[in-house]
Structure 1
Amino acid sequence: MDLNKAIDLVKAELVQSRFEHTLRVAEVSKELAVVYGVAVDKVQLAAILHDYAKNWPSEKLKSYILDNGLPRELLDFDKELWHGPVGAHLFENQYGVVDQDILNAIRFHTTGRAEMSLVEMILYLADYIEPGRSFPGLQEVRQASEKNLKYACWLVARNTIMYLMKKNATIHPDSFYAYNDFTRYIKTEGLLNG
């Protein structure tokens, strides 16, 4: 899919503030792709498409999940997680996106998962650190993003899980799988004691 077509498609679907977020994520993704030697066009397309279904009403997302054979267990978790799998399914089945890196980046940009590709990690991280965000611990992640992609993603997974635990929210298993996968890596690399 052409990047300009993707931008037009997404702009028509999102409220203005979410579209602006999407453009910032695309810009940060591009910067990270250059730093980590990843194909910029792939990363930018995933970034532009990642929140396509974010502003859909809950009932529309739920219907899409049930009508299209997506895992029913998604409904056991917060609706904020639904738009990633819905968007990935939609772009694969209605818009002909076949690149699994792009589709997985969209699918898992909220939860993360074990054994993420570079494209997936870049979107996961860029979505978290884009300049419009502001919350405790963010600066540490931004600084880490310039030095070690997996360590920065570990921080994202850790911070997200801790935030959700403080809210007594259910946490998708993929978030724990991502955290554990990154933890094993940073321990092996000597980046974490214990």
Structure 2
Amino acid sequence: MGDPRCGPALIGLLDSDNPTVREWAAMALASLKIDGAVEPVRRAYRACLERATPPDWTEPVGIRWALTELGARTPVVPSLTAHLRATVPDDAPCWPSTHFTEIINDLADHAQVILYSQFWRVDDGRTYGISGTGLDWELDWTAPWEHLVEESHTWSLLEASEAPAGDNIFVALTWIDRNDLRPEETPQSRPTV
């Protein structure tokens, strides 16, 4: 309903035993732009990492999105990646599939770990999800950051070699920076490279 009076209840749900409830509460707080939500959402993210929830699972992805929407996290977006970003009807962040390999290389060159990719087809002003490559990789989150960057780069390039392509095909990538795994060092903003 978009009523900000639910803010305190949503903040309380960040301590739920259920990861989906925590994720959705954080996302609702961000969508409603609830005053005072930043610190509780940051605590929820720290707790998520302390539970060793892999960063590519939906809970940490949703909470990072919430922190970004609340202005408490600025993703690292290298300049080439930013330049190649496309505008699609629903304004979702995505890139032309024809530039997928360039974006993968750019993110790796800036020490970003790609978590996953999704593909979209735009026809007549409407956006449709389409099947990707079917590749599914799992990173060892105990490995050094440089190893994670290399592994995600290798898997993403393999995915790019099998990905759907075309003038109306777009890819949405989700990636993280090393600082996303250090919740105690979460600054108000991080520089764009």
- Give me the TM-score of the superposition, normalised by structure 2: 0.28
- State which structure, 1 or 2, has the greater radius of gyration over its C-alpha atoms: 2
Which structure has more helix as a fraction of its residues?
Answer: 1
Report 1 or 2 for greater relative contact order, CA contacts < 8 Å, sequence distance ≥ 6: 2
- Give me the TM-score of the superposition, normalised by structure 1: 0.28
